[in-house]
């Protein structure tokens, strides 16, 4: 049985454990399942590939990338080296893309996969919030689209006449060497191989590149199956890095992509808060900078009033006025133990209802297991709040344990951190409920927790 078929079989069985297969040169990739849902996909060379993307994306220099590789040889978890070295959001974005690439490698692998049952899934790069079946369908569609570029095809590229339309395409054109080999592009790309291949299909379609010695195959005219490839299409295993990328100042007008949107959905960058035009292009345009206009504020003279004027900025940063001058204090009000306990109890109320809904749908104990997984899979920025925190039988967290954890953080960041962590936990719980319970049961859940945002103070 092909690894891809074996994976779907264990998903249908609701298995909990790992499927492992060799995919190239003795390297292995493992897919982890929890009750039939895909939680993680890891490969033996994850550390090397993540550092490669950091270097190719311009986040670290080539020299620093080599030092990161040396440090990775002495640690068990890749995150012990990467987190704190580069911004957390960059690492989390790379983790998501690596997860999907590992799934692609598993789907393309030959041989026989080996299943190992497990009671708990303890891996570093846990990914939640997706529909496992839908994710595999998206990856299948991507593979069908790029099949004519996969081994053993090994095409060589030349530059076409049409200009690129986004920053990634500019970067990939820079990666095409004199020989035009696909391996060179994959090794130098800031994105994972499957995502890079999908973008190369777009470049071929719009005429920005061409296949040397042959006409580019039109989008859509691809085989319905990708069973034939027998070798891995990953980059060369040696940790060679390209030079730092050229900064693109102006990408001009962005056109609609020529490859169907669904092909790139599995690899979409959902970070809409950074950069310009949604393409990850950083800008210093003044209209994007945070400004505070005080021209309309009436200054309070000395002795006229002791009242503070409140300016609502995120967590309620306030303006303190005295002596005829206005000053801004950027910071949240201190978080008292009473406030923290109130927020935690409101969150627990939501978790109890979520646990009850899951138990009703899937049997006793499934709710507690799901809530425990939600707690343990919190992103790195919130992980410190949930250290040694266990979910009770009814789904509630240990309030005192979370409270002790939050008290280890600097006082000025406690309120904002707790607010964001509780909101993230509840939202991921809702996502899980949408996937796992019936529509009627989900509506009942919402009715029972109505008004929780106000009680949380969000």
Q: Which of 447, 451, 458 is nearest to 356 (CA)?
A: 447
Least confident of 231-245, 355-369, 404-418: 231-245
Check pLDDT > 50 for residue 371. Answer: yes
Distance CA 130, CA 177 (A): 37
Distance CA 45, CA 27 (A): 7
Distance CA 335, CA 418 (A): 9
Give me the pLDDT at residue 252, please.
35
Residue 397 makes CB contacts below 8 A (sequence gap 6+) with 344, 347, 348, 351, 371, 375, 386, 389, 390, 391
Distance CA 38, CA 131 (A): 9
Give me the pLDDT at residue 242, please.
38
Q: Which of 288, 257, 260 is nearest to 168 (CA)?
A: 257
Higher pLDDT, 293 or 161: 161
Give me the pLDDT at residue 61, please.
92
Check pLDDT > 60 for residue 226. Answer: no
Distance CA 230, CA 65 (A): 31
Q: What is the pLDDT of residues 259-272, one digit of tens each?
A: 555 555 555 554 44
Check pLDDT > 70 for residue 308. Answer: no
Residue 438 makes CB contacts below 8 A (sequence gap 6+) with 361
Q: What is the pLDDT of residues 378-430, one digit of tens each?
A: 888 888 888 888 999 999 998 888 888 888 887 777 888 888 899 889 989 98
Check pLDDT > 90 for residue 217. Answer: no
Q: What is the pLDDT of residues 147-187, one digit of tens each?
A: 889 888 778 999 999 998 888 889 999 988 888 889 889 99
Q: Give 299's strand partners.
A: none
Q: What is the pLDDT of residues 78-108, one digit of tens each?
A: 988 898 888 888 999 999 999 999 999 999 9
Give me the torsion for CA of 198, 199, 204, 210, rounded to 10°. Answer: -110
Give me the pLDDT at residue 180, please.
87
Q: What is the pLDDT of residues 38-75, one digit of tens each?
A: 999 999 889 999 999 999 999 999 999 999 999 988 88
Q: Please report which confidence band the pLDDT of residue 236 belongs to, taking 50, 70 and 90 as the band edges.
A: very low
Residue 146 makes CB contacts below 8 A (sequence gap 6+) with 194, 197, 198, 200, 201, 222
- Give the mean pLDDT of the chain: 77
Average pLDDT of the residues in 274-289: 42
Average pLDDT of the residues in 217-223: 40
Give the number of C-alpha atoms closer than 13 A to the C-alpha of residue 261, restricted to the C-beta side: 3
Q: Please, what sign has the CA dihedral across residues 200, 50, 153, 227?
A: negative
> Strand, helix or coil at 295?
coil
Taking the model in full, what pTM does it have? 0.52
Higher pLDDT, 305 or 7: 7
């Amino acid at each position: 049985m092909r690894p891809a078929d074996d994976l779907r079989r264990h998903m249908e069985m609701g298995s909990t454990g790992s499927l492992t297969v060799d995919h190239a040169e003795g390297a292995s990739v493992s897919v982890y399942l929890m009750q039939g849902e895909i939680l993680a996909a890891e490969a033996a060379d994850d550390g090397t590939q993540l550092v490669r993307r950091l270097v190719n994306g311009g986040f670290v220099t080539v020299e620093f990338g080599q030092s990161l590789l040396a440090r990775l040889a002495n640690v068990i978890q890749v995150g012990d080296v990467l987190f704190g070295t580069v911004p957390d959001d960059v690492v989390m974005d790379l983790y998501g893309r690596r997860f999907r690439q590992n799934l692609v490698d598993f789907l393309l692998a030959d041989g026989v996969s080996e299943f190992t049952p497990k009671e708990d899934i303890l891996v570093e790069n846990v990914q939640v919030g997706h529909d496992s079946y839908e994710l595999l369908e998206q990856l299948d569609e991507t593979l069908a689209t790029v099949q004519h570029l996969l081994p053993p095809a090994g095409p060589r590229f030349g530059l076409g006449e049409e200009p690129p339309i986004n920053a990634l395409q500019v970067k990939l054109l820079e990666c095409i060497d004199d020989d035009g080999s696909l391996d060179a592009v994959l090794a130098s790309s800031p994105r994972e191989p499957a995502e890079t291949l999908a973008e190369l299909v777009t470049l071929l379609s719009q005429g920005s590149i061409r296949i040397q010695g042959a006409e580019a195959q039109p989008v859509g005219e691809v085989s319905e199956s990708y069973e034939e490839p027998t070798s891995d299409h990953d980059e060369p295993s040696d940790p060679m890095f390209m030079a730092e990328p050229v900064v693109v100042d102006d990408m001009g007008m962005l056109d609609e992509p020529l490859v169907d949107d669904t092909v790139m959905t599995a690899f979409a960058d959902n970070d809409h808060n950074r950069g310009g035009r949604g393409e990850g292009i950083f800008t210093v345009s003044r209209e994007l900078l945070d400004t505070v206009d005080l021209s309309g504020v009436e200054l309070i003279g000395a002795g006229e009033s002791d009242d503070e004027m409140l300016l609502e900025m995120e967590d309620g940063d306030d303006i303190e006025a005295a002596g005829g001058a206005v000053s801004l204090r950027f910071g949240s009000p201190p978080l008292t133990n009473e406030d923290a306990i109130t927020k935690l109890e409101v969150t627990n109320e939501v978790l109890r209802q979520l646990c009850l809904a899951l138990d009703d749908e899937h049997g006793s104990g499934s709710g507690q297991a799901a809530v425990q997984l939600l707690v343990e899979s919190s992103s790195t920025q919130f992980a410190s709040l949930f250290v040694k925190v266990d979910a009770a039988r009814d789904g509630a967290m240990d309030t005192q344990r979370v409270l002790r954890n939050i008290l280890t953080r600097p006082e000025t960041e406690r309120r904002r951190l707790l607010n964001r962590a509780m909101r993230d936990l509840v939202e991921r719980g809702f996502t899980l409920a949408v996937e796992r319970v019936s529509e009627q049961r989900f509506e009942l859940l919402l009715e029972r927790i109505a008004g929780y945002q106000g009680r949380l103070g969000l």
